[in-house]
Amino acid sequence: MKKTALWTGTLLISVTLSVIVAEAVLRLSGRTPWIYTSRDVREPTMHEPDPRLGWRAKQGSFIAPAWDPSGTDVRFTFDGRGRRRTRADERPPGNEMVIVGGSFAQGWAISDEETFAWKLQDRFPSLNVMNYGTGAYGTYQSLLVLESELPLLTSPVIVLYGFILDHAMRNVGAVLWLEILSRFSRRGIVNVPCATLHEDGALVRHPPEGYLALPFRESSAMVALVEEVYMKKRAGNRKAQMGPVTERILLEMAATSQRYGARFLVVQLDPRRATTNHWAEFFKVNHIQYLDCGLPYEGMIVPGEGHPNGDMNTRWVDCIADALGDQLGLQPASSG
């Protein structure tokens, strides 16, 4: 009995010392415990978990304090289906323009009336603009929104997808993206649905998943390393599929829009030019209407936050309005 107790005690001491040494080595090599990204605690939580989409905007009106002393407070207003308000009055159903995308489409960090969706509604009063854009969404989540929302609308005529290059990483649930979401999880965004490709090229849909969260992650560099190794192994070659997966999703978005009688228009909002030519050629080959509104927005960002401001959204409206007139024959409201 004494020998067993002695052996157990020795083993526990050895394991404890090993853990301490390993933790010290990791710290000396630059490894740290898990760190959540800080945010202004006054910023309201405006998203809630969703079993299919990962998260969605919460119904209600929210005021976010200015991110910088030179800025102003920001009002976000969402209805029961997660749509951002695009007008002051209610409209009867019909002739819907459906906007999907991420934070650029949603109009993160600017008030309702500053978003390009609101300004498009002003510019084209014959349309019923519905803004489903949601912060941190990718192309795949936008497809899921179309599949669930288009059947509920009376007569959708246009689907406008606000595209940025980061969406490709989000679509496959890349480890880096899952990590970013987890570090910002105090905003209520944790799990993300993603897609991969089967060997035959078919889209494989995966339910929402998140970054592994183990006990003691905030106090142990070793635990944080275990999480990282596990996530990289689980993700496999997802990142290598970013481009092909995004292309497959875009084709399904176009087909879904057509099924419900709407024209599908992709609007590039990202000023980065790295793969613009690739995407322009893809849309041309696949007969998808594409508009490059990726204008530089240096000097047109929300102070202290970094997203495009209301002036940049106006520039996008000018770019989009020309296409709606030239390609779709829509006439803007008279300025006189």
Block means of pLDDT (10 residues each) for the chain, 336 residues, are 65 64 73 76 86 96 93 96 95 92 97 98 95 97 98 97 96 94 71 94 95 90 89 88 97 98 96 82 96 91 94 96 75 62
Q: Please, which residues bridge with residue 301 across strands? A: 308
Q: Output the CA–CA distances (angstroms, integers) from residue 294 to 160, 171, 254, in the order listed.
A: 15, 20, 21
Whether CATH 2.60.120.310 fits 47-328: no
Q: Please, which residues bridge with residue 160 across strands? A: 99, 265
What pLDDT, on a 0 to 100 scale, did the predictor assign at position 336?
43
Q: 0.95 exceeded by the pTM? A: no
Domain ranges of the chain: 47-328
DSSP string, 265-306: EEEE-----TTHHHHHHHHHHTT-EEEE-----TT-B-TTT-
Q: Output the CA–CA distances (angstroms, integers) from residue 60 to 43, 78, 146, 253, 256, in the order listed.
A: 14, 5, 22, 28, 29
Burial group, residue 241, by CB count within 10 angstroms (0-12, 13-18, 19+): buried
Instruction: Tell me how far the alpha carbon of residue 184 is from its chain's centroid.
Output: 13
Q: How many helices (H) and strands (E) does the chain have?
A: 10, 11
What pLDDT, on a 0 to 100 scale, did the predictor assign at position 327?
64
CA atoms within 13 A on the CB side of 244: 14
Q: Which residues of 219-238 are buried (b: 16+ CB within 10 A; e: fewer)?
A: ebbbbbbebbeebeeebeeb
Four-CA torsion 79, 81, 83, 87, nearest 10 degrees: -50
Listed residue (267, 233, 237, 215) closest to 97, CA to CA: 267
